[in-house]
Structure 1
Amino acid sequence: MRWVTLLLTLIVSINSAVALASPLENGLKKASEGDFKTAVELLEPLAKKGNSDAQYNLGAIYYSGKLGVANPAKAIKLFNTAAESGHVEAAHNLGYIFYMGAGAKRDLTLAFKWFSQAASAGHIESQVSLATLYVNGQGVTKDISKAAYWFERAAEKDNMQAAYNLGIIFSSGEGVEKDYQKAKKWLLAVAEKGHVNAQFYLGNLYLNGRGEKANPIVAKQWYKKAANAGHAEAQYAIAMLDFIGIDGQPDYEAALAMFHKSANGWDRNAQYYLGHHYYYGLGVKKEMMEAYKWFDLAAANGHSDAHYMRSIVAHHLTEKQVDTAHKNALQWFDANHDNPHKHYDLKPHSH
């Protein structure tokens, strides 16, 4: 299951929208002007009297170091007091702090507690964060159905991350009844707004006929949107559709061009098929050394079949040509090292 990485945001901005007692307004005004010393002098008496907005904003000042030196311990104490009075942003901040271990020892149980409080009060980012805790079983027993509930609450308020995750959940059927129509509904909602992973995943659903008859033409349209944004796997998918030919007529030149784009994003399958193009002369002149280079790169990238094909190509080359082709692969490797790319495993490695 492919999840969007959880992005937790700590709210440290001063809540200038609050309009209560005049001292609070004055304190927030001073903070917005950058006079944090005076802001603290005005807000502290209110905080001691139990004003949760003053407590929250004081916490934001201390946490963010607006007085010159950050004081997370004091900030956490203020956030805690405010959150216990029902202050939503303070509860979210505590969830963030304990989830990240940012200013306090990491405590996923406390993160779950505070995200739950803020989520129940309608805080969108906390709803996404709480759902993600359920997905990963952090601070709570893993429960995809409860994750789906909270993702849906956030998605209903146009949170793109939540909508994408809902689409993945309903497509996989993990923890919920598999429902491709619901999956497409949520994926479409964000794909149309430019969510690249949603565009790619929609392409997969239409290509494989999930919930309806397979439609490679519509699939390719969604792949193209993701490919134009640099999505290497979408570029590979388009290349394969051209390679096979949706209408039974392969377009090897178009496939070759798209395989190159995908290979530059370090897609090992694209690198492997580039080797085939140059080995068999598909859409390009046969070039054994170029074929060897791409099979060499694919093999180094973990493509098991590339090892065999590389050995086949080596029989067509002299020892000197093999050495040169390998050096060409290394040069490509170094030249494209910084291209955005994914890794196929989590093992420590170096380029």
Structure 2
Amino acid sequence: MPWPLSQFAAMLLALPVLAQAPAQPLPDSASASPAVQEALKKVDDGDVAPLVKLADGGDADAQYYAGLVYLFGRGAIAKDPARGCAYEEKASARRGDAMHLVGMCHQSGAAGTPDKAKAEAAYTRAAAMGFTKSKCALGQMLMADPQSAARGLQLCKEAADAGDADAQAAVGNAYFNGTAGERDLKAARSWYEKAAKQNNLDASRRLGEMYAKGDGGPKDEKKAMELWTAGEKAGDPLVSILVADQLFSEISGGRKPGPGTYAFRGGVPTKDIEVIEEWYRQAKTKDPRPDVQARADYALSILAGLKSASNVKKR
């Protein structure tokens, strides 16, 4: 029964503070005792009691998985972040991944009030225990302060060089934004490429944007669309608007939705317009950002009028 941290980190984004939660697959339950594995099967049936019994009896693996269940919920089992963090705290003496989650608990305030110092201490300890991802979690916290940004970037680079895809994306973000110095779009694109090859959705989306604009290298709108559509299939909720805007610009003289006039090419097939409309509807359904919602509504109103225009070819 695999428990990927990417799934749980994404859910933890719903809690305050964590703007960029780290993510990588954690060891699955194959390394746990038969008793823990059997208890995990019952969790999926809605019965957490056997797992809790093992956790309360001192089994570190059971504590770790019980922590995950309560931190993020599992089927019919409701979330209880405070209890989940408490179990991760118990497991953290023996598991670096649990110590990492303790850091996330303190950073997000999942167990109460956010505590920056405790989060940094937990990430430092988890990294020392061999959990590479914690280096960049700590690094990202340090990069929030200009005085420690260079050190933070170095920690993320160490994790990125070790092959961590989320760290590679974080380094790409740092170079793109100029977090620890001047912006370096070529370097950002290179790091995004590495992370995207490991199916990091954030990096793939951002890399697509760089291809679409020609930032840090040659412009390639086809490649951008390939990255975005693959991301949509993989579950990225933020790419539908990018695909929609790109398709819109291809029929509007290069303009994205907004006030002003458009140079719509003549004879646009109704079917093509409907494809663009569907992407905007997907954006409205999947992407909660207010600006995206407003842009999608604006675009849909324009496209509805375009479909009824006399220069549209019906087919």
Structure 2 partner of 1:97: 38
Q: Is the 8 A contact 1:269 1:298 kept in 2?
A: no
Tell me, yes or no, if structure 1 residue 108 matches structure 2 residue 41. Answer: no
Comparing 253-262 with 275-284, greater Cα deviation is found at 275-284
Structure 1 partner of 2:99: 163
One-letter amino acid matched to 2:89: E
**TM-score, length-scaled by structure 2:** 0.58
Change in 2 beyond 3 A, CA 1:313/1:170: same
Identity of aligned residues (%): 22
Number of residue pairs the alignment of both structures matches: 225
Q: Deviations for 1:242-269, whole angstroms, at most 9, x for unmatched residues?
A: 2233465322222221122122223344
Cα deviation, residue 311, structure 1: 4.5
The structure 2 residue matched to 1:243, chosen from 150, 168, 176, is 176
Q: Distance in 2 between matches of 1:169 and 1:271?
A: 27
Unaligned stretches of 5+ residues in structure 1: 13-92, 317-343, 346-351
Change in 2 beyond 3 A, CA 1:132/1:239: closer
Structure 2 partner of 1:78: none
The structure 2 residue matched to 1:252, chosen from 170, 177, 185, is 185
Cα deviation, residue 195, structure 1: 1.6
Q: Deviations for 1:178-235, whole angstroms, at most 9, x for unmatched residues?
A: 21111111111112344233223223322334xxx67322221222122223333322
Q: Is the 8 A contact 2:123 2:135 kept in 1?
A: yes
SS at match of 2:175: helix
Structure 2 matches for 1:67-106, cutoff 5 A? 93=35, 95-101=36-42
Cα deviation, residue 152, structure 1: 2.2
Structure 2 partner of 1:198: 134
Unaligned stretches of 5+ residues in structure 2: 1-7, 13-24, 233-238, 255-285, 288-315
SS at match of 1:166: helix
One-letter amino acid matched to 1:241: A
Q: Is the 8 A contact 2:51 2:62 kept in 1?
A: no
The structure 1 residue matched to 2:86, chosen from 149, 155, 158, is 149
Q: Distance in 2 between matches of 1:189 and 1:292?
A: 44
Q: Distance in 1 between matches of 2:159 and 2:81?
A: 27
Change in 2 beyond 3 A, CA 1:312/1:6: same
One-letter amino acid matched to 1:110: P
Change in 2 beyond 3 A, CA 1:160/1:291: same
The structure 2 residue matched to 1:223, chosen from 138, 141, 156, is 156
One-letter amino acid matched to 1:233: D
Tell me, yes or no, if structure 1 residue 301 matches structure 2 residue 231. Answer: yes
Indicate the structure (1 or 2) with the bigger Cα radius of gyration. Answer: 1
Cα deviation, residue 131, structure 1: 3.3
Q: Is the 8 A contact 1:144 1:174 kept in 2?
A: yes
SS at match of 2:123: helix
Q: Distance in 1 between matches of 2:85 and 2:207?
A: 40
Aligned-residue Cα RMSD (Å) equals 3.7
Tell me, yes or no, if structure 1 residue 312 matches structure 2 residue 249. Answer: yes
